[in-house]
Amino acid sequence: MNFEELCLDPRIFRAVTEMGFEQASPIQAKAIPVALEGRDMIGQAQTGTGKTAAFGIPMLQRVNPKSKKLQAMVLCPTRELAIQCAGEVRKLGKFMHGIKVLPIYGGQDINKQIRSLKGGVQIIIGTPGRVIDHMRRHTLKMEEVGTIVLDEADEMLNMGFREDIETVLEKLPEERQTLLFSATMPKPIMEIAQRYLVDPEIVKVVKKELTVPKIDQFYYEVNPRKKNEVLSRLLDMYDPELSLIFCNTKRKVDELVEDLKGRGYFAEGLHGDLKQSQRDRVMNGFRNGRTDILVATDVAARGIDVDDVEAVFNYDVPQDDEYYVHRIGRTGRAGKSGTAFTLVVGREVYKLKDIQRYCKTKIKRQPIPSKDDITDIRAEKILEQVRECIENTHLRKMIDILEEYLEECDDTALEVAAALMMMQMGQGEEIQLRQEDFGDTGAEPGMVRLFINIGKKQRVRIGDVLGAIAGESGMAGDLVGAIDMYDNYTFVEVPREHAAEVIDAMKNAKIKGKQVSVEPANRK
């Protein structure tokens, strides 16, 4: 479903377009119309499905930017989620001038939050504990709250927030819309729904039985900033005749095509903004081999009927399990073999696990190829070209020049050949992409748990640790996972692809003026 069909506020439509969303994800297509009607809703969806926009868009549409009163509230289980969700809602509300969105969570200075709240905030996105704290201090005025969203409700219950959630719900005006999102629907969730939601519509994405064609499937855990580099390494390494690369947004398609062209690949993009004539041109180029890499969104790829696609790359993990099957089904056609590669960032591994379970398929983790692996392969290719050149070209003139050169200097012919080969290869930036294997540190999948020798007794707060890690390593703070602080030490989880960087960056860092040591934790 297109966003045009969803009758969005033009300002939100503009934001969605700018974010490069090409079509509504399945949960959005179902949930947005229901929520826009003002009805209560139970949405069954997990992270990565686009659920934030599914409730964020209707929530924003109900907010009146002219009033500075608190009008909508989202409860999330963790600080990271609150920050992420607030970021997404801000982007969606970018063109609704006067709307303020504030994440409020434990670990952050409460007085700072109180000051921000006093300035007038229409939407807060918070963790239950901190929201209750503010309610007790009367720093949150609930009378005008017209929408409440419980995000990842099952997680919140698992974390023991049931009582807090109920306290919040009791305090809200009765005339309000309640949206409950949860990946699973255990009994306590249904009890909350029964008690606090009025005639809710249940929205979930029904899944068809899917069969995955026999295709070799691999995934790579990558640092989000190194995705393009990893992708080009894989392209160099496997050197497929025709490749199809999938991105989740039109914007990403355009950016990636530019980047790949800049790296010397014959790549073209395909998405819904192109005119038919442009699409035809791109498709013809791909069919006749002028273009060997096609970068597309899910929607645009529907019209592609090419049998020889050797490799499919999921630059972004797809938003729906079904998309995954459609995407990789573009390769391995007509009895040919095919390979599918997926780049995974941080907690997206969960989504991949889900895809594997649901599609009953195996996606194997692989280490990112090293620079050496690529050098060997590139050298081989250059040597092939050299052989061809020797066979088919008149080299007399070049031989004369080289003979003269070799007589005059001390270099050997082999050294000259090696230098030319090096120049031909391009030295490229030395980027460390390979991930160290930290073994099992007792972290969530996709994360590494780090041990830091500083804790509560040294008067350190969680915010200090978070700040130091983000500040020193340059990694976005919202990528930091669980932080457990004890008297004399602290455990912090960071995405696996950032772990080496963080450990390195923290070598000379201080927290609250104290030198610290950071190392991978032992298993719990």
Residues that bind ligand AMP (CB under 6 A): 21, 24-25, 28, 47-53, 88, 248-249, 319
Question: Residue 262: is it exposed, middle or buried by C-beta count within 10 angstroms (0-12/13-18/19+)?
Answer: exposed
Q: How far is the CB of 319 from ligand AMP (least distance, A)?
A: 6
Nearer to ligand AMP, 347 or 434 (CB): 347
Q: How far is the CB of 85 from ligand AMP (least distance, A)?
A: 8
Nearer to ligand AMP, 244 or 511 (CB): 244
Q: How far is the CB of 361 from ligand AMP (least distance, A)?
A: 22
Q: How far is the CB of 176 from ligand AMP (least distance, A)?
A: 22
Place of tokens 């594997």: 356
Nearer to ligand AMP, 49 or 441 (CB): 49
Q: How far is the CB of 25 from ligand AMP (least distance, A)?
A: 5
The helix or strand, by DSSP H or E, that contains position 374, with its residue range, turns out to be: helix 371-392
Q: How far is the CB of 448 from ligand AMP (least distance, A)?
A: 22
Q: How far is the CB of 152 from ligand AMP (least distance, A)?
A: 10
For 475-520, the three-class secondary structure string (H helix, E strand, C coil) is CCHHHCCCEEECCCCEEEEEEHHHHHHHHHHHHHCEECCEECCEEE
Phi-psi region of 519 (alpha: psi -120 to 50; beta: other; left: phi over 0): beta
- Amino acid of residue 507: K
Nearer to ligand AMP, 205 or 377 (CB): 205
Nearer to ligand AMP, 251 or 378 (CB): 251
Residue 390 tokens, joined: 């020797």
Nearer to ligand AMP, 49 or 473 (CB): 49
Q: How far is the CB of 445 from ligand AMP (least distance, A)?
A: 17
Q: d(Cα 70, Cα 64) in Å, to the nearest integer?
A: 10
Helix axes 371-392, 413-425, angle to 10 degrees: 110
Nearer to ligand AMP, 48 or 369 (CB): 48
Residue 236 tokens, joined: 């160099």
Beta-bridge mates of residue 44: 182, 204
438: closest CA among 511, 367, 378? Answer: 367
Residue 113 tokens, joined: 């939050």
Q: How far is the CB of 291 from ligand AMP (least distance, A)?
A: 24
SS3 496: helix
SS3 365: strand
- Amino acid of residue 138: H
Place of tokens 């249904």: 190
- Contacts of residue 389, defined as CB under 8 A and 6 or more positions apart, other chains included, come to 395
Q: d(Cα 176, Cα 192) in Å, to the nearest integer?
A: 16
Q: How far is the CB of 273 from ligand AMP (least distance, A)?
A: 14
Nearer to ligand AMP, 105 or 181 (CB): 181
Distances (CA, A) of 194 to 29, 35, 248, 301, 504: 25, 18, 36, 42, 51
For 387-439, the three-class secondary structure string (H helix, E strand, C coil) is HHHHHHCCCHHHHHHHHHHHHHCCCCHHHHHHHHHHHHHCCCCCCCCCCCCCC
DSSP state of 5: G
Nearer to ligand AMP, 47 or 339 (CB): 47
Contact call for residues 104 and 113 (beta carbons, < 8 A): yes
Q: d(Cα 408, Cα 213) in Å, to the nearest integer?
A: 62
Nearer to ligand AMP, 319 or 331 (CB): 319
Nearer to ligand AMP, 28 or 291 (CB): 28
User: Going along 62-115, which residue ranges are E strands?
Assistant: 72-75, 101-104
Nearer to ligand AMP, 24 or 301 (CB): 24
What number of CA atoms fall less than 13 Å from residue 14's CA on the CB side? 8
Q: How far is the CB of 157 from ligand AMP (least distance, A)?
A: 19
Q: How far is the CB of 142 from ligand AMP (least distance, A)?
A: 25
